[in-house]
Amino acid sequence: MDKPLRILVVDDSALMRRLLRELLESDPELRIVGEAADGREALAQVVELRPDLVILDVRMPVMDGLETTRQIMAYTPTPILVVTASLSSYEVDITFQMLGAGALDVMEKPRLGDAAAVEAARRSLLRKVRLLARVKVVTHLRGRRQAPAPRAPGGTYRAGLLYGGGAAPVPHRPPRAVAPPPATIRDVLAPFPAVVIGASTGGPRAVRQVLAGLPRDFAAAILVVQHIAQGFSQGMAEWLAESVSLPVSLAYEGVPLSPGHVLLAPDCFDLLVRPDGAVHLSSLPLLLQRPAIDIAMQSVAEVFGAATVGVLLTGMGRDGAVGMQAIRRAGGLTIAQEEASCTIFGMPRAAIELGAAELVLPPARIAEMLRERMGVRA
């Protein structure tokens, strides 16, 4: 039998620390080795106790969750699960900065006084802890106030052009009126390409890496399907919009796809594309995971055909493998993230084993490949 996973709980609320301890100790495979009330205390305990996972609050006295994450990942790299009590824009923004600094995942804190909500939180917490505590994380030197030039792992890629494009990007805010699209995109050879990016655990940082490598005049529409805890998709869209040069917004019913604009799938809806090139949001219970990467990729492949590019990034499970296969069968390009740069290699591995990934690259090279595919020079 494996040794219990060793957990450090960091929260400035003694009541919340006690609740998290009770939830975690309901699993005999988990052991609470320490508690801390602020970031500075947490850093000392990480050095002393060497836990398998840190459960880390966002707002704390002395040192907040963001600086704590930076310091942990710079000096004693340890898997971090962020817990937040609020979905306010400020706190969600800090949460995504923590994910960008090396934290692995996020969840909302259990809501006291609601037995059903606490039980749902317990199941989610235990599932995430068991998964994340076994992830091998790497040092993030920027936490030491250094910014070394990035070095991407090697890889091979196939050069080639798809279609050009010169349409102006859609504004970040939904327009008041939208010009009528063609009767169907199939009636004319897709006027611009579409890129579908799927990701799960570790995805926010990888998605940002890919999008940050693309210019504002990028000639393809981009759809992002990210598995993340409910309530955080809007925050992720806003965080990405502040981090990359492309305009980013949450997808909504009927918004038209447009070159150079990134649309992120919202909570609880599958993202599909209608034949006229506009978004349709579906809540039909087709798969266990929603939004489903497979559904989005299959839908885009049906409409855009060979003008589709599929990108499958880090994550657990198999979601996206069948969608990548559909894109490849339609004549599009498919790219999976390589193992060395993945937080969890599950989804890319599934696509590779299925023969659905034409290229296997790290995030920086994925962005380079997308630029080349669209005829963009660095």
Mind telling me the catalytic residues? 200, 227, 319
Query: How far is Cα 296 from Cα 336, in angstroms, rounded to an integer?
Result: 16
| Residue with the two structure tokens 């068991």 | 130
Distance CA(109)–CA(58), nearest Å, equals 11
Q: Strand 221-226 vs strand 262-264: parallel, antiparallel, or unpaired?
A: parallel
Query: H-type helices in the chain, by residue range?
Result: 14-24, 39-49, 65-75, 89-100, 115-132, 203-212, 233-243, 293-304, 321-329, 346-353, 363-373
Measured CA to CA, the distance from residue 66 to residue 245 in angstroms comes to 23
Q: What is the DSSP letter of 152?
A: P
**Rounded distance, CA 312 to CA 334, Å?**
8
**Distance linking the first and last C-alpha atoms of the chain:** 52
| Close Cβ partners of 328 (under 8 Å, ≥ 6 residues apart) | 310, 334, 356, 358
Q: DSSP characters for 300-332? A: HHHHHGGGEEEEE-S-SSSTTHHHHHHHHHTT-
Report the candidate in 377, 301, 312 with the shortest Cα–Cα distance to residue 351.
312
The encoded tokens of residue 51 equal 């836990």
HSE, CB side, 13 Å, CA atoms: give it for residue 125: 28
